[in-house]
């Protein structure tokens, strides 16, 4: 199935992204480390690979769950196939552009803007396929359908918005140029959060066997707050850029409430689970529960850095990186891993045995413990930068925070190893699952070809 191919590719991109993240960490400590591969390249590869991971697993999940779990025949398998190949080929071109030093010079999407054209095209394929598939639905949508639909539409809108800098009216004014970039990226993050949170809620309903979780008033309140967050919640990026004050004030209020409600839904759902349900989907449950914990921890950090006075000292420091990493690894990655292990354990052919489960659990603990150390080190480094950089040269400040950067890099190595253990199991199992589906399809074809 096409969804499984997306997910296997996603697992590979995360494994590579982690590797380049670790190289970048060592370059942070020793600028001459792998001098041929400049930090500008390793950082770009790291960021693009981990962003691809989020998209590939979320998209793959939607392609997989619609026909297999939600009884929706995919409108066009061929279109999904084109989507996959376009994604893969564009991804390879992006890597080639980075390695050859050809940049567009933007955050997140640092590749030359010409490569955005196939990304737009692939997104049109995905959106058209999704909405045509969903047109079969006659009943009212549970909230995860709305989240997926919103994520698809708003990615398209915000990704378009991110390219406004190509127009001189935006590029010629520095403040406007910065606001275009960081407003669109903030909203774009909201669009992929919609896809991921939708997946999280879908998994929650499947594990509990109660689809009403996704139809409650609270779930829809989350959805609307998520939408508000997507539209208004970007402003913390440009808090200290000269701009209208009311926009950023409103943005923080919105983003705080969204995280709280998301955590509350999963928390409530957890309490309603029966013991046998937890056991059946033990691995998926673990990752979803870990995501819940990280939501609350990240909320705490977000609340602190949202106080304008504290923001003066944390903006532009590693504390903000901690917030970003807490969201992408602690929340998004845990939800996406939950999605992977849900579908792996759902099919008999790919279920984890006791030894494999133990390996995943070990990886789970290594990942989460090292992530905690990683984030604490980043927060400390950020506080150090906020305090020292006001009256100290840059190099002196970096020397003072070096112990935290060493801790951050070592924790990054452990984080990579922990996730590699988990990803290796997922990659193998997805392969087995994919193979079993291919075999059953061949059997089906053989049956069809038999003379009547």
Partner 1 sequence: MISYFFYSIYIFASGTDSLPGMIAHSDESRHGQELFQEYHCIACHQFYGLGGHMGPELTNAMSYRGGNVGEIIARQFLANGGNGMPNLNLTETEISALIAYLKFVDKTGTYPPKNYKVKWGMIYQEDDPEWASGEKL
Please select the residue that binds partner 1; options are 72, 86, 93, 176, rule is CB under 8 A. Answer: 176
Query: In whole angstroms, how far apart are CA 90 and each of 82, 124, 185?
Result: 12, 15, 20
Rg of the chain (C-alpha set): 22
Among 12, 134, 178, 297, binds partner 1 (CB under 8 A): 178
> Can residue 157 be called a binding residue for partner 1 (CB under 8 A)?
yes
Q: Tell me how far, at minimum, the Cβ of 256 lies from partner 1, in Å.
A: 13
The rounded distance, in Å, linking the Cα atoms of 206 and 204 is: 6
- Closer CB to partner 1, 145 or 408, in the complex: 408
Rounded to a whole number of angstroms, the minimum distance from the CB of residue 248 to partner 1 is 8
Stretch 303-362 residues interacting with partner 1 (CB under 8 A): 307-309, 311-312, 315-318, 321
CB closer to partner 1, 1 vs 179: 179
- State how far the Cα of 209 lies from the Cα of 277, in Å rounded to an integer: 9
**CA–CA dist 113, 117 (Å, integer):** 8
Q: Which is nearer to partner 1, 84 or 109 (CB)?
A: 109
Touching partner 1, residues 74-103 (CB under 8 A):
102-103
Of residues 105 and 435, the one with the C-beta less far from partner 1: 105
Task: Show contacts with partner 1 in window 290-309 (CB under 8 A).
Answer: 307-309
CB hemisphere CA count around 191 (13 angstroms): 23
User: What distance in Å separates the CA atoms of residue 175 and residue 170, rounded to the nearest whole number?
Assistant: 9
3 state DSSP class of 419: helix
Compare residues 213 and 378 and give the one whose CB is closer to partner 1. 378
How many other CB atoms are found less than 10 A from the CB of residue 195? 27
Closest CA to 436 of 354, 348, 355: 348
89/174 with CB nearer partner 1: 174
Please report the DSSP string for 236-253 in residue order.
GGGTTSSS-HHHHHHHHH
Nearer to partner 1, 242 or 271 (CB): 242
In this chain, which of 22, 23, 58, 110 binds partner 1, going by CB under 8 A? Answer: 110
SS3 letters across 271-339: HCCCHHHHHHCHHHHHHHHHHHHHHHHHHHHHHHHHCHHHHHHHCCCHHHHHHHHHHHHHHHHHHHHHH
- Report which of 240, 238, 393 is spatially closest to residue 312, judged by C-alpha positions: 240
Q: State the minimum distance, in angstroms, from the CB of residue 103 to partner 1.
A: 4
**Applying CB under 8 A, which of residues 12, 34, 164, 278 lies at the interface with partner 1?**
164
Q: Of these, 26, 170, 260, 289, which contacts partner 1 (CB under 8 A)?
A: 170
CA neighbours closer than 13 Å in the CB half-sphere of residue 213: 26
Q: How many CB atoms lie within 10 A of CB 420?
A: 18
With CB under 8 A, what is the number of residues at the site for partner 1?
Answer: 62
Smallest gap from residue 221 Cβ to partner 1 (A):
19
Shortest Å distance, C-beta 97 to partner 1: 11
Q: Is 256 in the site for partner 1 (CB under 8 A)?
A: no
Question: Residue 91's closest CA among 63, 119, 112?
Answer: 119
Residue 230 or 288: which CB sits closer to partner 1? 230
Residues 1-40 that bind partner 1 (CB under 8 A): 27-28, 31, 35, 38-40
Structure tokens at 265: 């839904």
Nearest distance from C-beta of residue 202 to partner 1, angstroms: 24
To the nearest whole angstrom, how small is the minimum distance from the Cβ of residue 391 to partner 1?
12
- Shortest Cβ 231–partner 1 spacing (Å): 6
Rounded-to-10 torsion of CA 55, 286, 18, 417: -160
Q: Do the Cβ atoms of 84 and 2 come closer than 8 Å?
A: yes
| 273 lines the binding site for partner 1 (CB under 8 A) | no
Instruction: Select 153 or 417, whichever has its Cβ closest to partner 1.
Output: 153
List contacts with partner 1 (CB under 8 A). Answer: 27-28, 31, 35, 38-40, 43-44, 102-107, 110, 153-154, 157, 161, 164, 170-176, 178-183, 231, 237-245, 247-249, 307-309, 311-312, 315-318, 321, 385, 389-390, 394-395
């Amino acid at each position: 199935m096409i969804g499984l191919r997306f997910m296997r590719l996603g697992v590979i991109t995360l494994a590579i992204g982690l590797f380049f993240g670790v190289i970048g960490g060592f370059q942070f400590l020793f600028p001459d480390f792998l001098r041929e591969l400049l930090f500008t390249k390793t950082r770009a590869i790291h960021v693009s690979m981990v962003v691809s991971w989020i998209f590939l697993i979320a998209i793959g999940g939607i392609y997989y769950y619609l026909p297999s779990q939600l009884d929706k025949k995919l409108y066009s398998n061929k279109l999904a196939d084109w989507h996959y190949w376009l994604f893969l080929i564009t991804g390879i071109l992006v890597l080639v552009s980075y390695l050859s030093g050809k940049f567009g010079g933007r955050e997140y999407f640092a590749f030359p803007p010409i490569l955005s054209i196939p990304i737009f095209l692939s997104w049109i394929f995905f959106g058209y396929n999704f909405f045509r598939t969903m047109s079969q639905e006659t009943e009212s949508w549970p909230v995860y359908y709305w989240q997926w639909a919103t994520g698809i539409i708003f990615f398209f809108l915000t990704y378009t918005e991110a390219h406004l800098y190509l127009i001189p009216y935006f590029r010629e004014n520095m403040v406007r140029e910065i606001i275009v970039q960081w407003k669109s990226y903030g909203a774009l993050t909201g669009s992929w959060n919609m896809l991921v949170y939708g997946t999280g809620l879908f998994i929650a309903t499947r594990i509990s066997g109660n689809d009403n979780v996704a139809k409650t008033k609270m779930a829809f309140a989350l959805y609307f707050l998520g939408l508000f967050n997507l539209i208004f919640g970007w402003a913390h990026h440009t808090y200290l850029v000269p701009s209208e004050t009311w926009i950023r004030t409103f943005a923080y209020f919105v983003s705080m409430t969204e995280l709280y409600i998301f955590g509350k839904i999963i928390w409530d759902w957890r309490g309603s689970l029966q013991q046998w349900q937890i056991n059946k989907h033990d691995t998926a449950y673990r990752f979803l529960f870990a995501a819940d914990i990280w939501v609350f921890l990240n909320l705490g950090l977000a609340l602190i850095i949202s106080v304008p006075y504290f923001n003066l000292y944390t903006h532009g420091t590693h504390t903000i990186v901690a917030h970003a990493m807490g969201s992408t690894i602690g929340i998004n990655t845990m939800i996406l891993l939950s999605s992977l292990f849900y579908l792996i354990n759902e099919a008999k052919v790919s279920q984890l045995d006791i030894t494999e489960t133990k390996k995943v659990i070990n990886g789970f603990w290594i990942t989460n413990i090292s992530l905690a150390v990683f984030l604490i080190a980043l927060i400390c480094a950020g506080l150090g930068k906020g305090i020292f950089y006001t009256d100290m040269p840059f190099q002196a400040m970096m020397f003072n925070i070096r112990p935290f950067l060493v801790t951050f890099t070592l924790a990054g190595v452990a984080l990579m190893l922990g996730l590699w253990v988990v990803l290796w199991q997922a990659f193998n199992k997805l392969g087995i699952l994919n193979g079993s589906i291919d075999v059953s399809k061949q059997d089906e074809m053989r049956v069809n070809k038999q003379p009547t």
